[in-house]
Chain A
């Protein structure tokens, strides 16, 4: 059986199309962007309605930890981009090493996030807690959005970390090669999305003084 385009995997019965697979990933990322985009609109509207309260509550957030997490995510974005370079050059060992570094960065990010959340929860700012219930309207909205947006983002970090672990496993098994690296590329795209969202969350939540 001859095909005009594409490459037929032996004994698989179907075609592999790297470009289509990447396009699919991008289309999925667009839906993710609009999901967070909606939350940014909610944030914008409530902030327009309660400018002073949002300003006041943002002082409760820890800029140092937020900045460290920004740097961690930016570095991890570079390591996963480099791991694609490595696999394209056929150096799967280096690619795996760089993926491990990315995975480590995601763990560091989550640990820092854990301490940040714990501090806020100890104060009682988590939605439903007593201190939260007695906050003025604007401030409780800020903390609700803080927990919701960083929580949804953290969920994406966890999913990204699992995805990277899968890529490591499959690269070590020799299923990802210099000819067939779509998985690494798509995991990279997803990880960069996680970084992109944090790039906007960080100034909006932490830096609005």
Chain B
């Protein structure tokens, strides 16, 4: 059993992602781009909403790039934890700066 796990882990670190999977990732990213541009161009009257959705869609796109193109899906878990750590760190900076400026 343990031996099997080891083998699986070994396989995971050297997993070859197929061309098809990369192409599907691109299609997903292009669809998200179409979505975010059309919301901005056609939904101009929903101003604050469109900024929030634009950032939300950008974050989803960034996660898709990191997870599939940057191989996070098949890499060791430590990379996912590190990425999460850096994201949390940035959000902390963001929140602290906002609080500081909103209270002036």
Contacts and interface: CB of A to CB of B under 8 A. Distances in A.
Interface string B15-35: 011110011011001100100
Chain B facing A: main interface SS: helix
Chain B residues touching A, range: 35 or more
Given A67-B33, A192-B66, A199-B58, A74 B94 contact: no
Interface of A: 19, 22-23, 26-27, 30, 33-34, 37, 41, 44-45, 48-49, 55, 63, 67, 70-71, 74-75, 77-78, 81-82, 84-85, 88-89, 185, 188-189, 192, 195-196, 199-200, 202-204, 206-209
Nearest to A38: B93
Given A67-B37, A203-B54, 5 more contacts: A26-B82, A30-B86, A49-B101, A81-B68, A188-B70
A interface majority secondary structure: helix
A26 B66 CA distance: 11
B97 A41 contact: yes
The 5 closest A-B pairs by CB, nearest first: A207-B40, A203-B54, A78-B26, A81-B69, A88-B16
